[in-house]
Structure 1
Amino acid sequence: MRKFAVITLFFCIAANLQTIAQTNGKTVNLTDLNFTVEAAPEWSSLLKREAGWFGGDGIYTIPLNGVENKQAKVSDKILFIFSDSMIGKIENGTMVPGFKMIHNSVAALTGNQPADAQMKFAWDTDKAGAAESLFIPHTAQTAAGDYYWLGDGFVNQELNNAIYIFGYRVRNVGTGAFGFREVGNTLIKIPARSQPPYKDLKQMDTPFYLTDAKGDIGSFGAGIYVNTTKAGAPKPDGYVYVYGVRGIGKNLMVARVLPKDFEKFDRWTFYDGANWIKDMNKVADVTNSVSNELSLTALPDGRYALIFQVGGMSTNVGMRIGATPYGPFGPVIKIWDCKPDLEEKTFVVYNAKAHPSLSAPGELLISYNINSVDFIPDLMKKPNLYRPRFIRMKISSK
């Protein structure tokens, strides 16, 4: 196991910053946190596979009992959702012809340990029997060729335990590694107890996609924090907080809504830096340099950890400490250097986030994605490169 050697140095620097906030009459330090970080190879190995699903990104985890803020029990089920996924077979260190990339897939894990026998992957198939995405856009605003990458999701215990997942409607607009564009925001609703391929799901176009005067795109669904008693939140206020990201600065936006009103988009409010308002176009950027996928988790001391890839696509997993689920947030704390995973100069790392339902008390299990800008050639040489890696943050009260 490797340790992140810069932690001690950072704490020395951070002590001089003394970034604080006043919340409910209390002074909250947004800089200092005692922790260590190590690799979690047992979780990384869970997703190193030779047949069926053997690669993907966009990983989020959804406890199907709706308890978001506590470690799952051995009998609980955790839904993993992935965006682009590789389906096929690996033999003799390379991909067997017939492999296919689909745009999303899922897996279900029973329990809270990385046991391969308890992990079941699922995707759809087309009429010819070939692998196909589970979630394909079929809304009024969908154009031919649009597909879904998935945002965060949760089980809504106030709406019959349905699973709600954000779907980003994506369209190819060119060639190359970045020849795509997000063009819309959708909410996917899966009834409780529904099983893949989820033929009874519902899709709803949402208004939670915006552009500003500069033409910067923003969209909600990058992360969800369910701040309710039923979800196990330590300081519940009854709201579901939904995080959005916009612009090249990777600026963070915050919305909230009561769980019972989740489908009533006119009931949503947006944080303007001081108040919760109805006008989404006046939403504030509460911090920056986050990633398009992220997480917010309550810390044992009452503060909150925002986990992300610094700047969206860098070698650093970062954290900002928040006084509340909507900020203010402190400076970036770089908690892990992913460079050792970048075996080739074409490899990239992105979209770190925490998984509290898989985290032991006092710890945060964190994933980040590895990919390549020379995708298929690199995958032919290193077919297991394209999958999440995991680290474990251990938080100390001292």
Structure 2
Amino acid sequence: MKKHICALLLAATISLQGYAQSADDWQTVKFTVAQAPEWTKLLNRGDGWFGADGIYTIPLNGQEGKPAGKNDKTLLIFSDTMIGTVRDNTLAPGSRMIHNSAAILKGNVPDEKAIQFYWDKNAKNEAEPLFVPTSPATKKGEYFWLGDGFVNKDQNNSLYIFGYRIFNVSEEAFGFREVGNTLIKLNANDVPKFTNQKQEDTPLYLLDNKGDIGSFGAGIYANTKSAGAPDADGYIYVYGVRGMAKQLVLARVPAKSFDDFKQWRYWDGSNWQTDINSLVNITDKVSNELSVTRLADGRFALVFQVNGMSPFVGMRIGKSLTGPFGPIIKLWDCSKDLAKKSYTVYNAKAHPTLSKPGELLISYNINSVEFLKDLQEYPNLYRPRFIRVKFE
């Protein structure tokens, strides 16, 4: 264990240069990348919340297109979460996993005094998730993992979060199945209260005749004036992922009509269609959680874990929100975090509102296919790590 921790500390000093050049100028990009240990440390905790995956960041002021200021608040949402106590690298009895949680960070720096974590509790004072499926399509035993979300300034500060309804089909490491897509609606002014929720089943769950599953909510780009987007067109762009090839699909809807699914349109490669079956795959080999961020030069950076679950954080450069997106640029090799063969890494994404100008703060998640066994050995294994990409 000490050897592993020392390796992580040494790795924090590593900086890599990248230069992806193409015959097409719009695919060329220069950058450097290094670990962001101060952000990784923020989520390395021993009391209460001590681990989770997921991690989407939502500016509560709705300014998706601008860096957070020192007085701004950012909502962090997580999926499966560990609640308990870790002392001297030992997991104390009584820890509990819940299926989602949240935190609020004040300001734009990783100050442990400025972050507060939230989860629900039952009558026995035991930890419970903040978001539990209650929509009409929900069946017994289902729970939520969380997709991306945003605050809609064009709908009176409505806070929208995508909830993936999950059902366990076995006790194996990957013995779960997504069975539905739900839109969770709150008011950003009520946060950190999460009790006043509206849940609506959506038509955004994809299931083909081969049994391949897809769903929208993997990433959101708010291209609106109220969100601070340059060249705003008034639409919210929502990305989805489908199939084992991790293919990227795209829909959009006017911000003012976000929860009116009759107003949603689906990208067929050339035009926006009313029929969701018209969707084409924009690109592939992405992950179920990802991000699309506008760069200073007007291009777009698609950030993801290559092939969904691999050691590499990847990026594709796009001409526009609809693509085309260029070849995979391998930003970071996460192998140094994989001290055991049972460890896995997945779902990288950028957090632009917590990034400095000209940079992208990126997280990726660490987990294990022998979760309970490995958590006993290394209780703080299960949490996001961060890197920082600086563009030249």
TM-score range, shorter chain: over 0.9
Say whether residues 1:271 and 2:305 are aligned partners: no
2:45 is aligned with 1:58: no
Distance, in Å, in 2 between the alignment partners of 1:31 and 1:326 is 15
Q: C-alpha offsets along residues 20-52 of structure 1, whole Å, 9 cap, x if unaligned?
A: 4xxxxxxxx342101000100000000000000
Equivalent residue of 2:189, what SS? coil
Task: Give the aligned partner of residue 203 of structure 2.
Answer: 207
SS at match of 1:79: strand
Cα distance in 1 for partners of 2:14, 2:274 equals 45
**Amino acid of the residue matched to residue 57 of structure 1?**
D
Does structure 1 residue 218 correspond to structure 2 residue 214?
yes
- Take 2:205 and 2:99, find their aligned partners in 1: how far apart are those partners? 20
The 8 Å contact of residues 350 and 368 in structure 1, kept in 2 or not, is answered as: yes
- For 1:265 and 1:42, locate their aligned partners in 2 and report how far apart those are by CA, in whole Å: 41
2:315 equivalent in structure 1 = 319
- 1:171 is the counterpart of 2:167: yes
- 1:92 is aligned with what amino acid? D
Partner of 1:24: none
SS of alignment partner, residue 374 of structure 2: helix
Q: Secondary structure at the match of 2:344?
A: strand
Q: Would the aligned equivalents of 1:123 and 1:197 in 2 still touch at CA under 8 Å?
A: no
How far does residue 3 in structure 1 lie from its aligned partner after superposition?
Answer: 4.1
Aligned-partner Cα distance in 2 for 1:231–1:196: 21
- Contact preservation (8 Å) 1:167, 1:187: yes
1:352 is matched with: 348
Q: Which residue of 2 aligns with 1:70?
A: 66
Match of 1:259 among 255, 258, 282: 255
1:305 positional shift: 0.1
Which residue identity is paired with 2:241? V
Deviation at 1:4, TM superposition (A): 5.5
2:123 to 105, 120, 127: 127
Partner SS state of residue 160, structure 2: strand
Aligned length: 381
Q: Alignment identity in percent?
A: 58
The one-letter code sitting in structure 1 at the alignment partner of 2:209 is A
TM-score normalised by length of structure 2: 0.95
TM-fit CA distance, 1:195: 3.2
Deviation string 1:146-172 (CA, Å, 9 cap, x unpaired) is: 000000000000111011000000000
Q: How does 1:67-146 map to 2 (within 5 A)?
A: 67-146=63-142
The answer to whether the 8 Å contact 2:50/2:380 transfers is yes
Shift of 1:343: 1.3
What is residue 299 of structure 1 aligned with on the other side? 295
Describe the superposition over 1:118-155 as per-residue Cα deviations: whole angstroms up to 9, x where unpaired: 00000000111100000000011000010000000000
Q: Which runs of 4+ in 1 moved over 6 A?
A: none
How many angstroms apart in 2 are the aligned matches of 1:383 and 1:69? Answer: 36
SS of 2:372 mapped into structure 1:
helix
Q: CA RMSD in A?
A: 1.1
Where does residue 304 of structure 2 map in the other structure?
308
Q: Would the aligned equivalents of 2:146 and 2:164 in 1 still touch at CA under 8 Å?
A: yes
Helix, strand or coil for the counterpart of 2:188?
A: coil
